[in-house]
Amino acid sequence: GLNVAAKSGFTAIALQPNSYPIIDNQSQINFVKSKAIGFATELFPIGALTKGSEGKDMAELFDMKNAGAIAFGDYNKSLDNSNLLKIALQYVQDFDGLIIVFAQDSNIKGNGVANEGIVSTKLGLKGIPNLAEELQIARNLFLLEYTGGKLHIPTISTAKSVELIKEAKAKRLNVTCSVSVHHLVLTDSTLENFDTRFKVSPPLRTEIDRKALLAGILNNTIDMITTDHNPIDIEHKKMEFDLAKSGTIGLESAFGALLSVLTLEKVIEKLTSGKSVFGIEKQSIAEGNKANISLFNPEGKSIFTKENILSKSKNSAFLGTEIKGKVYGIFNQGKLVI
């Protein structure tokens, strides 16, 4: 949890609402915040957009905002109800709320488990077309243009998605987006051996998409990089590809994996820009300010192994991968964690 985040160099993290029970009310926000007291890494909870993250009825957004929720979304569940999204975008404007919508049309995705393309066809895996993501992004942006408000689109994965968001920003729509570490580094070619460590949502795409995502980082169409850290126990991961759960852990490998494809300056910029996206005050290094520091060395290379994983779950897509640099820990809230 928070200790793993601290030792991985993160002084603050956003907590998704997909816990048990779902974080969809004021009491749950208060509970998770109370559990984070005393840790070096600060925790900022995201409240569920809909009750139980079921996509049917809007959750207690205003109450959760007052309790400290930084945004509202249903993690990696799509919201197929367009009218509900329209109402939510309108409603949260009264208290400057931020709506997060995972972009994947569940009907077009169907039973797909991998990117629709040459690799999925060769392996006989059911494909998830780029269209499943792009259609939802286009819809969400149309709604945002109609309603106003603020929208965040997490973990985009296709070249066309980058284009759509770039066009929306040119229209001055208040939209931000993120990309996961693994989508910047890996492609669907990793699936050749049916290794479920690479089964993620959205799925790993092609090299063309990966390069477009990197370009989106460099030209600032993509606002931030997320670890999309999703621990899954071995019982739900080491099984047939079609049946295995989607997700990878990402805290421990994030810094080193990103340094293999981006400059140190860009890695730091995009791993810390989430505070701007979510309206969290940024600290600066100055006399009299509280220290908020990550400790790392950007030099050197090593192979990422299970010994590097501090999480209980070991479902890392980067096992066996060469990473750069080394993270030692953090100094934050008067606490040193190494």
Is the CB of residue 224 less than 8 Å from the CB of residue 176?
yes
Is the CB of residue 16 less than 8 Å from the CB of residue 303?
no
Report the C-alpha gap between 197 and 225 in whole angstroms: 20
The active-site residue, picked from 57, 96, 228, 242, is: 228
Phi, psi of 81 (to 5 degrees): -80, 100
Cα torsion 308, 310, 312, 318: sign:
negative
Phi, psi of 52 (to 5 degrees): 65, 10
Is the CB of residue 318 less than 8 Å from the CB of residue 257?
yes
Alpha helix (H) ranges present in 207-289?
207-218, 254-258, 264-272, 274-277
Give the three-state DSSP class for 152: strand
**Across the strands, what pairs with 248?**
229
Report the C-alpha gap between 248 and 263 in whole angstroms: 24
Both tokens assigned to 65: 């905002």
195 is annotated as an active-site residue: no
Is the CB of residue 250 less than 8 Å from the CB of residue 185?
no
Rounded alpha-carbon distances, angstroms, from residue 118 to 143, 191, 202? 34, 11, 17
**Segment holding 301, helix H or strand E:** strand 292-303
- DSSP collapsed to 3 states, 84-126: HHHHHHHHHHHHCCCEECCCCCHHHHCCCCEECCHHHHHHCCC
Both tokens assigned to 240: 């047939």
Report the C-alpha gap between 275 and 282 in whole angstroms: 7
Report the C-alpha gap between 19 and 230 in whole angstroms: 11
**Across the strands, what pairs with 179?**
225
Active-site positions read 228
